[in-house]
Amino acid sequence: GTNAINVPSHSEPVPFLNVIEDYQKLIRALRELFPNARLGLLNIIPRAYECRQTLFRIETFNTIFSKYVSEIMPGVTWIYLYWEFLDRYGRLREDLYGRTGLHLSRKGK
């Protein structure tokens, strides 16, 4: 999720369709192993990236993928917690992240 959406400085970002296809493969594999399980997909959460383009890609991907999940993946629940990781000013909640702002703290998990 997050690593695929990141805009790397040395190459082109991974197309959204590739990321969605990877999620589809995962869902199919889980359905085969656990046919009666309730499945949920959590949105990609915000991260402390220097690159505004990456933050925009995360927000855009979440919007596109949430619609895709609700229309194309029956029985899969979209769980949207993006804003729970931000304070009222739109900044990362420091109590939920480690010092780098990339990985969650114990409280954030």
Confidence of residue 103 (pLDDT cuts 50, 70, 90): confident
Q: What is the pLDDT of residue 38?
A: 92
Q: How far apart are CA 23 and CA 53, in angstroms?
A: 22
Condensed to tens digits (0 to 9), the pLDDT of residues 18-68 reads 989 999 999 999 999 999 999 999 999 888 766 678 888 889 999 999 998
For residue 39, list its beta bridge partners. 76
Q: What is the pLDDT of residue 33?
A: 96
Sign, CA dihedral 24-64-1-82, equals negative
Q: What is the pLDDT of residue 88?
A: 92
Q: Residue 62 carries which side chain, given as an amino acid letter?
A: N
Q: How far apart are CA 79 and CA 3, in angstroms?
A: 19
**Percentage, residues of the chain above pLDDT 70:** 93
